[in-house]
Amino acid sequence: MANGRLTKGERTREALVAAAIDRFARSSYQRVALGDIARDAGVSPTAVYRYFEDKLALFVAAVDSDAEALVEFARARLDVGDGVPSLADLLDLMSEGLADAVIDHPLVSRVLAGDPTMPPRQVLDLPSLAALRVEIATLLEALQRRGAVRATLDPAVAALALETIVIDHLADLTTGGSGDADTPADDRWRAVVTLLRVALRP
Amino acid sequence: MANGRLTKGERTREALVAAAIDRFARSSYQRVALGDIARDAGVSPTAVYRYFEDKLALFVAAVDSDAEALVEFARARLDVGDGVPSLADLLDLMSEGLADAVIDHPLVSRVLAGDPTMPPRQVLDLPSLAALRVEIATLLEALQRRGAVRATLDPAVAALALETIVIDHLADLTTGGSGDADTPADDRWRAVVTLLRVALRP
């Protein structure tokens, strides 16, 4: 979201977040020093506290920013033409697009995987995810108006359910993977998407 | 499944598997020595190879046996009365029963959580899980005949999907949990079960 309109303070905050994403993605939470992030961003160590209350606040901002990049990727994939993507587009994105994209986001991957050297995901409150959930609920409502999604479904509940199933799946992939020698991950996920299609279609 | 009808060889095999569950649940895969398991089971170290090809084979048998205990728990919960449990019973079990039961199975928990000191779940081929999947497919078929589950659903695909969603969820709980500060795990999982209910009902 970097652009020329940002104030100097906003640019500094962004530089700190970018440096934090990089540092936290490569090391344990404990080992990352605020001073190193400050140096990477060209800011004095004490100046960091003008932007973030403490290390955890900077960590949450870094994870949220990394997740936001994934959400932007999802938005770009869904923005195909006239504004309302099809149910098939949504399921395609869930079934493969996101899994591929997560690989390029090592910080989100480590948090999803429940890396024991990171603060657990439950303590994080990510505005990017909350925004995505609202967008998916809005999309489901639009699809309901078109008769493409079952009318009896509560869009907010369905959006939360879809998000949960996808996040659980992504978390599972990052820990080495859904599936077993008996049934590979692809077969499993294809079955889930089939079930979701049945759930959503009128 | 221990009973008086087992042969001496079967009893020894069971003792080895029980000792393996205990050892592998408490330590890393690398650190567990076959000799220690043999001693726990009262067998000579070389005799282990009469029952298991190698350490990995014993590990897989241990995880499968620990998972089988969970499957038995699920069976007992579903066996309520006349043979065909209701869809509500199945969803209740998925939504809470199993999550509570997994806590008592540290070996399964660690494998589910993708513990990096354990062989990854993908290399394991667990007969207990394959058997459970067949049973759930059979149950869904029975419910379809009663008109309680949508007829257009392929029972085998739906069973694989349900199993995958539940395993991903359990894996996620074992890594510190589905949900975040914004939306707790309980709300998330309730939404998933609501969506599944909609998916399955006629």
**ipTM confidence:** 0.83
CA distance B48 to chain A (A): 24
The whole-number pLDDT of residue B124 equals 77
Kindly determine whether residue A183 and residue B160, on different chains, have CB atoms separated by under 8 Å: yes
Kindly determine whether residue B191 and residue A158, on different chains, have CB atoms separated by under 8 Å: yes
Taking the Cβ of residue A69 and every Cβ of chain B, the question of whether any pair is shorter than 8 Å is answered with no
The whole-number pLDDT of residue A81 equals 55
CA distance B130 to chain A (A): 8
Please report which confidence band the pLDDT of residue B25 belongs to, taking 50, 70 and 90 as the band edges.
Answer: very high
Q: Which amino acid appears at position B150 of this protein?
A: R
Helix B55-78 and helix B8-26: axis angle, to 10°? 90
Domain boundaries, chain A: 64-200
Tens-place pLDDT, residues B117-141: 888 877 777 888 888 888 889 989 9
Tens-place pLDDT, residues A121-174: 777 778 888 888 888 899 899 999 999 999 999 999 999 999 888 888 888 777
- Chain A CB contacts of B120 below 8 Å: 176-177
- The third-level CATH classification (topology) of the domain covering B63-200 is Tetracycline Repressor; domain 2 (1.10.357)
**Residue of A113, A120, A161 with shortest CB distance to B191:** A161
Tens-place pLDDT, residues A57-71: 999 999 999 999 988
CA distance B118 to chain A (A): 11
